Structure 1
Amino acid sequence: MAKPHSLTREWRGTMIAAGGMVIVSSLAFRILSHVDEGLAGGTLGTVSTIALAAWLLMQLWTYVVRIGQPKHQVVLMGISFIQSVPFLYAAVYASFGYTDSCVQGADRASELLYFSYVTFTTVGYGDLQPVGMCRGLAVAEAVTGYILLGLFVSAAVAVASHNRHSKE
């Protein structure tokens, strides 16, 4: 059994990364969901979309290559699944503005966040609908949800399998 001090050291980087993901995604959502309608639109939306794609690729690389221990992967992917990714997609939707230029029927930040969670989890109620470039973004969000869920389940099974084998 690991000493408490070494356990703290082992998890320090993971907890810092988890906190960073929550802070960055919350700030991005807060800032972009309150952008003036005059600033929101195609250019800001495109830049936000590119930044989101770069962030997602970096996260995928981190989960698959950099983090060697499945228990750390489970924690970070869980936070991504529950909070970070839906908040970041909602921020990008908001960067396009609220005048039905991205998500028809959404006229405030909470509705975009709701739409993001419904899309990310592939529930798809249909009460809010993406339009224009945001249709492709919504498809990307659903695919991201599938991929992240698959990676999360894979890491969780690896942790459970490791724990089971270490008890035998």
Structure 2
Amino acid sequence: MTLDYPTLKWIHILSSTLLMGTGLGIAFFMWMAHLSRDPRTVAATARVVVIADGLFTAPAVVVQFATGLWLTQLLHLPLTTFWVKTALVLFFATGACWLPVVWLQIRARNLARQAAAAQTPLPQAYARVMRWWFWLGWPAFISVIAIFWMMVHKPL
């Protein structure tokens, strides 16, 4: 398949927007559900969050990586170019945080479902899961912000 540069760049920008927007939306709704301390609210929200990660975040990650590499080829830009290499390192650092976060969201959903079914408060294991979820989210978020900066400023 051949795409012209503007179309490929548009797809790359669109997927980055989807990735950032979905990430922030998921984090917001998951955190608000967590603050409610209501197992039913957490279970329902985490169920939707897990679905959203599968439908939006995961495909955007793939498109982002593929179009980024494709753009470097079209521009004859070596992957060793400082800003490209840095963006790639940050991209993989984000992924290293995001993959456990997906598992943690599934775990939080399951723990909340169990508590809701038993009509009990959220267990201590849930609190540990959400602590990890919270702290893994920050380096991923900061990395994505830094990638956006790299894409715009292209420092040598």
Using structure 1 for the length normalisation, give the TM-score.
0.40
Q: Which has the higher contact order (CA 8 A, sep 6+)?
A: 2
Using structure 2 for the length normalisation, give the TM-score.
0.42
